[in-house]
């Protein structure tokens, strides 16, 4: 699963001096314009514009950001920076642990049918638990190369969040500085 977090700001109206209103960005409009996208979060930013978290599956990050940029442009918005998170669910690990745990409990009865039944129950429970656990595999910061669009994006790999610091890995609207 790939998610893209970005600040959507109203596009500068270079073509008209009579521009009066900023269009409202709605999740439904963004999902209709951006095929295959799921808007996970869309909130008004205190600095103007909107903070958006979109889940979208494309062949690579360049294609995804080009599609996001195109959709935003059609809706009167723009973005210059994004944080990309690649994560995977732990379904397989949950299934294996659940099956092993259920089988171990059933083997104590010394009845093969009881062992199979508890292993099957463990499998179902393991899949259910594993599907709800996301493991972050990689994070990237994407910066637009040219301030007025075009020219592509520069990607910088970010360190993975560490849960030992008391912070839960997840959506954070602080986009880290590049340090360049």
Quick: pLDDT tens for 33-89. Answer: 999 999 999 998 888 889 999 999 998 898 999 999 999 989 989 888 899 988 765
Question: Number of structural domains, the chain?
Answer: 2
Give domain status of residue 9, yes or no: yes
Of the chain, the percentage scoring pLDDT greater than 70 comes to 69
pTM above 0.85? no
* Contact (CB, 8 A) for 7 and 51: yes
| 114: containing domain | 91-131
Residues 10-25, mean pLDDT to the nearest whole number? 64
Helices 112-131, 91-107: crossing angle, 10 deg rounding: 150
Same-domain status, 30 and 105 = no
Residue 177, pLDDT score: 40
Q: What is the pLDDT of residues 155-180, one digit of tens each?
A: 898 888 766 654 444 444 444 444 33
């Amino acid at each position: 699963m790939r998610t893209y977090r970005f600040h959507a700001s109203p596009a500068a109206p270079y073509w008209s001096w009579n521009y009066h209103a900023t269009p409202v960005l709605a999740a439904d409009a963004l999902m209709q314009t951006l095929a295959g996208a799921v808007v996970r979060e869309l909130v008004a930013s205190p600095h103007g514009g909107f903070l958006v978290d979109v889940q979208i599956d494309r062949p690579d990050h360049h294609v995804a950001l080009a599609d996001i940029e195109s959709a935003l442009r059609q809706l009167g918005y723009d973005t210059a920076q994004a944080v990309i998170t690649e994560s995977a669910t732990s379904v397989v690990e949950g299934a294996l642990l659940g099956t092993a745990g259920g089988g171990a409990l059933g083997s104590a009865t010394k009845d093969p049918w009881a062992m199979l039944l508890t292993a099957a129950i463990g499998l179902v429970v393991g899949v259910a638990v594993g599907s709800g656990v996301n493991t972050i595999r990689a994070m990237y910061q994407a910066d637009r190369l040219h301030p007025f669009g075009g020219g592509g994006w520069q990607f910088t790999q970010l360190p993975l969040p560490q849960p030992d610091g008391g912070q839960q890995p997840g959506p954070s609207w602080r986009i880290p500085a590049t340090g360049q």
